A and B are shown apart, each in its own frame.
Chain A
């Protein structure tokens, strides 16, 4: 700021003494800061190395190749005791990612519904939404997880007295059992059909948009897309001879066998994460919609738009601009909060890797650093993607 000052006569002012020169000062400050931070890290590193030596802990990532020797409750990839510690990292990471992705999808759906409910003209509905939001967001998430896990799911009846829907779904204190789909040969065709349908929809949408720009004629894109999405895969399914069957769960002597089992840990965690985050998302949605001024709706009416297009073309795009940044931070929160899994034993990254693996190997520094690096990467990449989307949606001011 004070670099390029000249006085009224156009001559440079006399130079200040070096200890008062802002440029020199700022360089000096920065050098001091670097030295202090560097010394701090050096000090910590030194202590850590000598501490680890005196406790007989080896450094390095060799432990990742040794056999883990402990089982994990749930795994998306093949895993048993004979796999390595490196594999436990992967299992934990995948479990974390799965619960986060499912949580984000469910919380977004519920959050948007509750947020719109809160703005409803119907007094009763808007009050129910308010109570939901105010209760859930003011109670710690960990408490909610414990509540669902211990007070609700563990209090369910045992396998013999399961709650059931027909012969396909069973709910008991061992988890939720549902039929497992078995894909036979030829199901690939159905998947291909779905991909083709999606490609066709994208093309039709572009074509309809172009045609409307030129001729002003509209094309029923939504109904065509829905039709395509149902008819194409349906045809493929019938033609290939229905290559899909279901494996049902059956009650064996003490528990259920076959089918698909969702462990109670996952149900409790997913449910609590969803309900908690949905309360925050609902508030974000409400404030986003309210931020669009009423004049916009009136202007849309004046242009002759009906209710649907008003919402789709005028209100939602503007509301999204307000909604997206806080929504991103809620997604990040949900992902980070999924680490609370460790409290009820859902095998996520923190619970498996930073819990069991750390206890068994004692490699605290490496494991904590790896885990933190994973979360940092997830955080930074979600915020990167969302920032990109946000820039795309942002108001282009002329």
Chain B
């Protein structure tokens, strides 16, 4: 009889405390006394903030109804939002003309979404349509007065639509100006460089509010007599100036990241300045800074709320105007949460996109 056991004994299962839910909790929540305490603090935070917030927003909230009397649950009164939704989306745009805004929304979505899909065909043409075609089409559709559609004054624009117009025009117009400024800042000509640096640093050094104030009170003084811009156009000019300075700095980052060899190669091919920039440098530089451009766009999108200070009715201003309506009492929180949610969806989505792009573009060259 041998005392050596030659058969392999079966694998024991790992200890219960190391795997599954318990193991995960031991490793991630209770690995040390400090962690234990932190977990308790975290749990306390959740119980005091998150759960009451969820309760307010969902479980004891009222979703259906017509007016204030429908809000009996003690939670959020989402009826208010549903009642005012058209105002929040279109502002004072006439009801009968909503279809025009809707067409612009649909066009925007149809042109924008393919940009996020890797293998979508004709992406470049769609991109051009988005940057050049859409603003032109939207201009005629939204302002009207030609092709037999009614003219709508820009004073009636508002809500999400105005926010989108401001941020979209801001970014599309700022892009070419930003490119020119960035090239100018890296130019060999001292005068051109000086002018560009002065422009960029001036706008980057002052808050957007003062730029908007300037656009609304000083711009009319700059113009020759008889010429007058409306409020929206003045705000847009301010936003574009401001944004192009930021855009220029982003693009300059891209230009600096292009190795010197590329510039020299372009010179060696005998290309002139504009050709070497347009064909060799800029395509590479712009591709590098797309995440940066998206980030400035997020900042701009949030900053468009500032136009309410000079009296434009963007989404935040339309919420502000609605919550003081005597037909509804105590709906300020609901209004702000709704506006915050709209902004959050847009900005969070864009920032995720820009992060994904950054990961895609960083193919192993990261130090």
Contacts and interface: CB of A to CB of B under 8 A. Distances in A.
A134 B348 contact: yes
A249 to B, nearest CB: 27
Interface in B54-80: none
Interface in B280-313: 298, 302-303, 305-306, 308-309
Nearest to B37: A122
B42 interface: yes
A107 B39 CA distance: 24
A368 B42 CA distance: 47
A122 B28 CA distance: 5
A84 interface: no
B348 A138 contact: yes
Contacts of B223: 47, 51
A379 interface: yes
16 contacts: A30-B192, A33-B195, A121-B35, A122-B42, A128-B45, A139-B344, A142-B308, A143-B305, A143-B336, A147-B333, A350-B213, A368-B214, A372-B202, A375-B206, A375-B207, A376-B202
Given A30-B189, A143-B343, A350 B209 contact: yes
A113 interface: no
B222 A120 contact: no
Interface string B131-169: 000000000000000000000000000000000000000
A147 B306 contact: no
B86 interface: no
Majority secondary structure of chain B interface residues (helix, strand, loop or mixed): helix
A120 B38 CA distance: 10
Closest 3 CB pairs of A and B: A138-B347, A336-B207, A123-B28
B356 to A, nearest CB: 15
A368 B222 CA distance: 13
Contact of A339 (B42, B45, B209): B209
A142 B333 contact: no
Contacts of A125: 38-39, 41-42
Nearest to B345: A138
B221 A364 contact: yes
Contacts of A52: 221
Contact of A124 (B43, B225, B303, B333): B43
B218 A368 contact: yes
Contacts of B305: 140, 142-143
B42 A124 contact: yes
Contact of B340 (A1, A139, A365, A379): A139
Interface string A30-48: 1001100100000010011
Interface string B177-213: 0000000000011111001000001101111111001
Contacts of B189: 26, 29-30, 33
Given A30-B191, A137-B347, 10 more contacts: A33-B195, A37-B195, A48-B221, A121-B31, A134-B348, A140-B343, A143-B336, A340-B306, A350-B213, A368-B213
A354 B210 contact: yes
B339 interface: yes
A376 B206 contact: yes
A121 to B, nearest CB: 6
B336 A47 contact: no
A358 interface: yes
Majority secondary structure of chain A interface residues (helix, strand, loop or mixed): helix
Interface string A366-387: 0010011001100110000000
A339 B206 CA distance: 10
Interface in B247-276: 267
A151 B77 CA distance: 14
B348 A371 contact: no
A50 B330 CA distance: 50
Nearest to B188: A26
A124 B38 contact: yes
Given A121-B31, A364-B218, A343 B309 contact: yes
A353 to B, nearest CB: 10
A337 interface: yes
Contacts of A63: none
Given A123-B28, A138-B344, A30 B38 contact: no
Contacts of B347: 137-139
B224 interface: yes
Which of B31, B41, B192, B336 has the most chain A CB atoms inside 10 A of its CB?
B336
A285 interface: no
B221 A143 contact: no
Contact of A368 (B217, B323, B333, B340): B217
A33 B213 CA distance: 28
A344 to B, nearest CB: 11
